[in-house]
Amino acid sequence: MKNKQVLIITGGYLSIPFAREYIAKLKFDSVIAVDKGLAYVSELGLFPHYVLGDFDSVPGDILKQYENRPDNNLIEFIKLKPEKDETDTQIALELAIKLDADEIILLGATGKRIDHLLANIHLLNLTLDHNRQAYIIDEYNKLYLINKNTTLRKEEMYGTYVSLLPFTDVARGVTLKGFKYPLNKKDLYMGISLGVSNEIIADKADIILESGILIVTESKD
């Protein structure tokens, strides 16, 4: 059975040449444009099934362009109040979960604002709670959370380097097989950098996790 994929494009930094090449390899069931992310959607020539945000950063002419489209009845516009507890990206993730997405891709979720990036990493935990997988992807990194044993295949890796850092206070009993730097039932505590810049040296590599949550980053220079 095919996994249901939802693409979220939000308003951080996004390399359009990278995004165009990346998106061409995939077929998404739904596209959610988040505020300024609608400008990226327009530039990429995508059709947004949902447009949401408080619309404080998307150019007004771009928003009107979609509101006035002949097929705008196929787009759901969700106007949010600027004064709210949740970020626009959180609401987009919650929408993707309601759409029964098995896999959620976030583009435009990194950039100059480190506070937004940190918040977006924390938001990935929402998907774990619902047994879904979400990825933050830019031209150099693929970032996600895991809370169970995971196998990575070298031929499918996003980049050369794999970093594993605890998202919870401690990730217990971490065993790494098929990595340049293996581990055997090692507890990884928040506040240390032990898991940074590992590499896969076998055809596949296993991450065995007894408890806790790990941040996994597949990176390329």
**Rounded distance, CA 85 to CA 91, Å?**
10
How many C-beta atoms lie closer than 10 Å to residue 132's C-beta? Answer: 20
Domain range summary for the chain, segments of one domain joined by +: 5-139, 146-219
pLDDT exceeds cutoff 70 at 106: yes
Reported as a pLDDT band with limits 50, 70 and 90, residue 221 is: confident
Q: For the chain, what percent of residues have pLDDT higher than 70?
A: 99
Mean pLDDT of the chain: 95
pTM of the predicted structure, to 2 decimals? 0.94
Q: Which two tokens stand for residue 140?
A: 């150099």
Instruction: Give residue-wise pLDDT tens across range 205-219.
Output: 999 999 999 999 999
The CATH code of domain 146-219 reads 2.60.120.320
Mean pLDDT along residues 83-92 = 91
pLDDT exceeds cutoff 60 at 1: no
CATH for the 5-139 domain, from 3.40.50.10240, 3.40.50.720, 3.10.20.30, 3.40.50.300 = 3.40.50.10240
> Distance of CA 191 to CAs 113, 145, 151, 194, 220, Å?
22, 17, 25, 9, 23
